Amino acid sequence: MLPALNGSKTSARKIQCVGSLHQLGLATHLYWDDNNGQCFRYNGPVTNYGQIYWFGWMGPGAEEQRSFDLSPGVLYPYVKGRGIEICPALNYSLAQFKLKATGASYGYGYNKFLSGTNREPAVGVSRITRPADTALLADAAQVNVWQPPASLDNPMLEEWYYVNTSEDQPNGHFRHSRRANAVFCDGHVAAEKFVPGSVDRRLPSQYVARLRSEILELP
């Protein structure tokens, strides 16, 4: 019975994650409607000695000691922090997991190609010519080896808040039976495979790898 029970739990986590991403996708569409069809940026202003990002405010300090507040996040007014920001398949109890703040903050990453560069505004929705093929948010994480308690000899998994095509530091997290869930700009959610050969070998059991560039980059 144990394999069947484990399979049921895995399936339930995947279903819950799909539902959360679907709600975040709906919230993003409401944001676009309220902001003249403009995508949001990955980061915002420095305030209260911390930094505002798209997902909330992160305070200063060492890893695992930072304060975190969801309410400044751009999607918060539409979802009110209903718990959908945390993927149930992201194992926070893992011995090799390192928190960014004092507790769990956000388990999904924003497609950074929608954010624009430091010198340019975020992308207008009109530039997303293939919304059904362009990812908005996806299961994300990264392997950290440079911030204590992580080190080269002790690689650790941590939340990460954007997804891009980096080869040196992959940030898709294929935590659903080696698949990553992604919500696309048209609102549908789909499971993605990792790019072959891209699994981060510093912690290969966690399947941190690259998402396809075709679903991230704009034409």
Please name which of 123, 130, 91 lies closest in space to residue 107, comparing C-alpha atoms.
Answer: 91
**Per-residue model confidence (pLDDT) at position 5:** 45
Cα-Cα-Cα-Cα torsion 177, 54, 68, 63, nearest 10 degrees, comes to 70
pTM listed for this prediction:
0.93
**Per-residue model confidence (pLDDT) at position 2:** 44
- Segments in the chain forming alpha helices (H): 2-34, 76-79
What span, in angstroms and rounded, lies between the C-alpha atoms of 155 and 146? 8
**Per-residue model confidence (pLDDT) at position 7:** 54
Adjacent-strand bridge partners of 68:
58
What span, in angstroms and rounded, lies between the C-alpha atoms of 181 and 189? 7
What span, in angstroms and rounded, lies between the C-alpha atoms of 35 and 14? 31
Domains in the chain: boundaries: 2-215
**Per-residue model confidence (pLDDT) at position 120:** 79
What span, in angstroms and rounded, lies between the C-alpha atoms of 219 and 214? 9
pLDDT digit of tens for each residue in the chain (219 aa)?
A: 445 445 568 888 899 999 999 999 999 999 999 999 999 999 988 888 999 999 999 999 999 999 999 999 999 999 987 789 999 999 999 999 999 999 999 999 999 999 987 777 899 999 999 999 999 999 999 999 999 999 999 999 999 999 999 999 999 999 999 999 999 999 999 999 999 999 999 999 999 999 999 999 998
